[in-house]
Amino acid sequence: MPFMTWSSNLKSPSKSAAGSFFVSWGPDGIPIRQKMLIASSKVELKNKLQGIFKELQASGIDEASEECMLELCRQGDRGAN
């Protein structure tokens, strides 16, 4: 399944973030039909979840690291939620 939630108490020198992250993953090389299925499933699943703090879309495991999530928190209102 290309989705995960991650509850965290991340802390950086400038910001603290407590809550759940919603991560969707779809590698760049998958067929467009599969990407569309992931996108529509993501909307359905995210609508059923409560308490999502931030959302992260990744095309590789390196884009779903704790450091990427900290960077998303540092962005504040500029980040996608």
Q: Half-sphere exposure of residue 11, counting CA atoms within 13 Å on the CB side?
A: 2
For the chain, the structural domain boundaries read: 3-76
**In the prediction, which pLDDT does 62 show?**
81
Tell me the whole-structure pTM to 2 decimals: 0.62
Beta strands in 26-77 (DSSP E): 52-58
Cα separations in angstroms, 35 against 26, 49, 72: 7, 21, 23
Question: Tens-of-pLDDT digits for all 81 residues of the chain?
Answer: 487 777 776 665 555 555 678 888 888 888 999 888 888 888 888 888 877 778 888 887 788 787 887 787 777 644 444
3-76 has CATH 3.40.50.450 classification: no
Supply the DSSP symbol for 75: T
Q: Half-sphere exposure of residue 20, counting CA atoms within 13 Å on the CB side?
A: 9
